[in-house]
């Protein structure tokens, strides 16, 4: 019997940091700067808490990276992986083959997604899911004899991943600046962010105005050239930007008018985050495709994919012939087995209802109460995601100068006080595990208040106000 190697040997924090700096290039990171500063080494987790290599306990209000919906330490997921690894650790789905877990997952996804979704294409991540979207949408129009319908309209400050197609769909200009992006035939309209574009307008009216930018762009490009519109129901990485309730229904109306497909990027919003199984249900629209990842396995193992709605599935299946696309790990049996266990756990624990009826409304109430804080210009929530906008002067609604980077100042206090909250510009954002209860939310709120107070003390002492 060959013993398994020790997964992680015991080393001091300093030793881990040195080895990390010597060999590991981190995502979205200034490699040189991090090598000097040193990484935080996270060593274990349970429920909504993490521990670092110094033994410090941290409340993870970001669910890892928006993904650990069922919280850490769920044994049924571990057991599903172990069982499947022993039984059949890998087989592909290319050559007229399939494995039971992938089939079972496809069936379960058809059950929990809106009724017009009966088919799924598997990938390994959200980015790969969105690469699939680009190819599938263009293939669909080719089959229908409209190959000139190629253009996909997306939004500035949207996030759709980091592969060539994912980053092109995304509207992050700092990503486009590296590597010659976007790829051809992808165009971006402004985001429905009231604080950027809507001042002086009532929010419902602004939602319709922001949606009208889509119609304007469709007409500029030519309706016969537009293949699809893609958006996150609620923008996550862009700063938890919750659109006015009027936005998505109006987007739907416009897409229907011109026959344009709608793609809902559910990588963050899916699997209960917004208080429904999928964000499109919360925001009131009916997409043709849904990209998913993260919450499908609660991040325990990589898996992503695209749900394909009936309108497209019918054409692809009945008229399409070969679709020349797929990944080694499309339908990976271990990842699929974990996803099945995860979705069943979400059902058993009634996490969607828990977010919708209990902790979601409680978070909304708690975040609204932060508006009495001198630094807080606004708060927004949708289910278990939320944002706090930090401002210099509430009465005049002025922002701090960019060089102060007030969000990073606040994030520093969060790290120091055992709370993971992320900064996106001046927006402090959270997306805690869906298993969080009210007492844990109270604990999170008192940490958030403490960090806001410490940030205010910095601002006062340094004369930033």
The binding site for ligand PMP (CB under 6 A) comprises: 125-127, 130, 159-161, 166, 232, 236-237, 265, 267-268, 293, 304
Q: State the nearest-atom distance from the C-beta of 77 to ligand PMP, in Å.
A: 18
Q: State the nearest-atom distance from the C-beta of 410 to ligand PMP, in Å.
A: 21
Of 394, 383, 398, whose CA–CA distance to 430 is shortest?
383
Closer CB to ligand PMP, 29 or 82, in the complex: 29
Q: State the nearest-atom distance from the C-beta of 15 to ligand PMP, in Å.
A: 29
Question: What's the number of CA atoms in the CB half-sphere (13 Å) around residue 309?
Answer: 16
Q: State the nearest-atom distance from the C-beta of 433 to ligand PMP, in Å.
A: 16
Closer CB to ligand PMP, 70 or 385, in the complex: 385
Structure tokens that stand for 322 in this block = 């070969």
Q: State the nearest-atom distance from the C-beta of 230 to ligand PMP, in Å.
A: 10
Closer CB to ligand PMP, 127 or 336, in the complex: 127
Residue closest to ligand PMP (Cβ): 126
Query: Do residues 313 and 390 make contact, with C-beta atoms less than 8 angstroms apart?
Result: no
Q: State the nearest-atom distance from the C-beta of 49 to ligand PMP, in Å.
A: 22
Q: State the nearest-atom distance from the C-beta of 329 to ligand PMP, in Å.
A: 12
Closer CB to ligand PMP, 127 or 168, in the complex: 127
Closer CB to ligand PMP, 28 or 95, in the complex: 28
Closer CB to ligand PMP, 157 or 379, in the complex: 157
Q: What is the Cα–Cα distance from 388 to 381, expressed in whole angstroms?
A: 9
Closer CB to ligand PMP, 123 or 456, in the complex: 123
Q: State the nearest-atom distance from the C-beta of 282 to ligand PMP, in Å.
A: 15
Question: What's the number of CA atoms in the CB half-sphere (13 Å) around residue 276?
Answer: 14
Q: What is the Cα–Cα distance from 149 to 172, expressed in whole angstroms?
A: 24
Closer CB to ligand PMP, 131 or 215, in the complex: 131
Closer CB to ligand PMP, 181 or 451, in the complex: 181
Q: State the nearest-atom distance from the C-beta of 304 to ligand PMP, in Å.
A: 6
């Amino acid at each position: 019997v060959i013993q398994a190697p020790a997964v992680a040997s015991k080393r001091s924090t300093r030793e881990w940091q040195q080895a990390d700096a010597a060999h590991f290039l981190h995502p979205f990171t200034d490699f040189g700067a991090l090598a000097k500063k040193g990484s935080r080494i996270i060593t274990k987790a349970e429920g909504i808490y993490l521990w670092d290599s110094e033994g410090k306990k941290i409340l993870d209000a970001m669910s890892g990276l928006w993904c650990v919906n069922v919280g850490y330490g769920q044994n049924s997921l571990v057991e599903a992986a172990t069982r499947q690894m022993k039984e059949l650790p890998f087989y592909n789905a290319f050559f007229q083959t399939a494995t039971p877990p992938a089939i079972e997952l496809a069936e379960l996804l058809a059950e929990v997604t809106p009724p017009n979704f009966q088919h799924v294409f598997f990938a390994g991540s959200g980015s790969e899911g969105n690469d699939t979207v680009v190819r599938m949408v263009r293939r669909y129009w080719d089959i229908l004899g409209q190959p000139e319908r190629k253009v996909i309209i997306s939004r500035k400050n949207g996030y759709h991943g980091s592969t060539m197609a994912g980053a092109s769909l995304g509207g992050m200009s700092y990503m486009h600046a590296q590597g010659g992006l976007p790829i051809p035939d992808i165009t971006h309209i402004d985001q429905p962010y009231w604080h950027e574009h809507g001042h002086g307008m009532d929010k419902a009216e602004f939602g319709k105005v922001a949606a009208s930018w889509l119609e304007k762009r469709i007409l500029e490009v030519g309706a016969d050239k537009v293949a699809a519109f893609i958006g996150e129901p609620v923008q996550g990485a862009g700063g938890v930007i919750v659109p006015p309730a009027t936005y998505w229904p109006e987007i739907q109306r416009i897409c229907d008018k011109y026959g344009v497909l709608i793609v809902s990027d559910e990588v963050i919003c899916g699997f209960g985050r917004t208080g429904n199984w999928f964000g499109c249900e919360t925001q009131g629209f009916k997409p043709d495709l849904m990209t998913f990842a993260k919450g499908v396995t609660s991040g325990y193992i990589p898996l992503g994919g695209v749900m394909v709605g009936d309108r497209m599935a019918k054409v692809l299946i009945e008229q399409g012939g070969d679709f020349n696309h797929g990944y080694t790990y499309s339908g990976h049996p271990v990842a699929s087995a974990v996803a099945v266990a995860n979705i069943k756990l979400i059902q058993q624990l009634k996490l969607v209802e828990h977010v919708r009826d209990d902790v979601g409304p409680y978070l909304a109430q708690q975040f609204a109460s932060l508006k009495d804080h001198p630094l807080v210009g606004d708060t927004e929530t949708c289910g278990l995601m939320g944002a706090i906008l930090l401002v210099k002067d509430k009465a005049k609604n002025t922002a701090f100068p960019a060089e102060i980077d007030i969000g990073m100042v606040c994030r520093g206090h969060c790290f120091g006080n055992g709370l993971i909250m992320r900064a996106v510009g001046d927006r402090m954002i959270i997306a805690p595990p869906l298993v969080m209860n009210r007492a844990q939310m109270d604990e999170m709120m008192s940490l958030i208040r403490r960090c806001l107070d410490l940030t205010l003390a910095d601002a006062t002492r340094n004369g930033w106000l």
